[in-house]
Amino acid sequence: MSKKFEDFGFNKQVLNAIADAGYENPTPIQQKAIPPILNGQDVLGIAQTGTGKTAAFVLPMIMKLKYAQGNDIRGLIVAPTRELAMQIEENVKTYAKYTDLRSSVIYGGLGPKTQIEALKKGVDILITTPGRFMDLYLEGHIITKKLEILVLDEADKMMDMGFMPQINKILEVVPRKRQNMLFSATMNQRVETLAENFLLWPTKIEVTPQATPATTVEQILYHVPNFKTKINLLKVFVEDDPEVKKLIVFCRSRANAENVYKFLLRRFNASHVKVLHANKGQNTRINSINSFKNEEVRILVATDVAARGIDVSNVSHVINFDVPIIYEDYVHRIGRTGRAFNLGKAITFCNPAEQHYINKIENLIRQQIPVLDIPEKVFIEETGYDERQLIAKQVDDQKRREDPDFKGAFHEKKTLSQKKKFKEGRAKAGGMKMSAAKKKKYK
């Protein structure tokens, strides 16, 4: 097996770009994927985030396309989110810097005018999200007849996000004779079906068992009763822990992300913390990522839109403020730290309703997450009535999904109280009717 980039037969332009990027030795996925891709084979790659898979398909693509030619695209890379598409384009530009290959990125959320202008000038390698590609293809701005190489990156995430119809349409409009690559962090049934329809006699590459967290990440779990206590615990890490140098805080919802961001903003200011979620405008999102990447801010609060494909070096800690409902996202979230053989810490806060998801995650990663006691200096808040009811309802819903016959304590209490209220209301209404009738009688 090749141990150096020189062993792959890359030309001087590619090798110089690799040296400039500071890469010395290829990672396991690069060692396994680059030779078959250079040989023109279809490849199915199962690799967790942070393993260097972008270079595994971009470097041989640049080597195969060699130089600018015509105006129509010859390499197409499809990614689930605009953040990942931008990240890949950045890598393409880095690796192709000594060639004249032209690359461009297109995605939704922005007006298409500048993207259309770039396409008109001629593009060799196009990086795109599924929806925007189909929009511009149908308007006649993208010609696919010269396409030689097609890559679907983070295929499992594209399916989770509901992009399957667009992927099928893309496969219908590209030439049949082409080289295909499909990369995914997990290999579920849907990815397997897509691979069967999309790849021809593929070389399967699996660098780690499915959904295995990086060994460079230390995982910790805290059982935390409620939202306010989670905030108090977060405060200890961001204020008192000198090891927390660069931190991503993951939240399940936009609302939670905003609340956590506002709390951190009160503790520090905008020069220390940024927020990233789907409700933010495109420019705000780009600025947030760049500020965090360039170490202008120390903390990034994000929803799972940022969990994949954002390659930020030296993230010391990831905190899962909320446990993800999509279990695979746990692996992607914690993969933001411990990258490129650096050590990192992934800390998860879990309330009683989230224990169900922790159990599923532990089954997926085939290991138990070590549990620590909440530090004594953290004030444990009382769980308010509304949050207590919400947690009870969530626990009941989880049990009901596992066992359709389960009725649930929350369900029974609610039903009894509803019956009581209904009886009281009926008695009251009956009394009012009676008094109205008496009044009429004695008029």
**What does the pLDDT read at residue 386?**
93
**What does the pLDDT read at residue 60?**
96
* Candidates 3.40.50.300, 3.40.50.970, 3.30.40.10, 3.30.70.360; CATH matching 217-384: 3.40.50.300
Kindly report the pTM of this predicted structure. 0.60
* Candidates 3.40.50.720, 3.40.30.10, 3.40.50.1980, 3.40.50.300; CATH matching 5-206: 3.40.50.300
What pLDDT tens digit does each residue of the chain (443 aa) get?
447 899 999 999 999 999 887 777 888 889 999 999 999 999 999 886 667 788 999 999 999 999 999 999 999 999 998 888 988 998 899 999 999 999 999 998 888 899 999 999 999 999 999 999 999 999 999 999 999 999 999 888 888 888 889 999 999 999 989 999 999 877 778 888 888 888 889 999 988 655 567 778 999 999 999 999 999 999 999 988 888 899 999 998 888 999 999 999 888 777 789 888 766 666 777 788 888 888 889 999 988 765 555 678 789 999 999 998 777 678 888 888 887 667 889 999 999 999 999 998 898 788 899 999 999 999 999 999 999 999 998 888 888 777 767 766 555 444 555 556 666 766 666 655 555 554 444 44
DSSP-derived 3-state class of residue 276 = strand
DSSP E strands, 53-208: 75-78, 103-106, 125-128, 149-152, 179-184, 203-206
For residue 136, the surrounding DSSP H or E stretch is helix 130-138
Domain positions in the chain are 5-206, 217-384
**What does the pLDDT read at residue 412?**
47
Dihedral Cα 276, 280, 282, 283, nearest 10 deg: -80
Tokens of 129: 């999200």
Question: How far is 217 from 215, CA to CA, in rounded Å?
Answer: 5
User: Over the range 293-326, which residues count as b (16 or more CB within 10 Å of their CB) and which as e?
Assistant: beeebbbbbbbbbbbbbbbbeebbbbbbbbbbee
Instruction: Answer yes or no: same fold for 5-206 and 217-384.
Output: yes
**What does the pLDDT read at residue 109?**
81
**What does the pLDDT read at residue 197?**
83
Question: How far is 207 from 202, CA to CA, in rounded Å?
Answer: 16
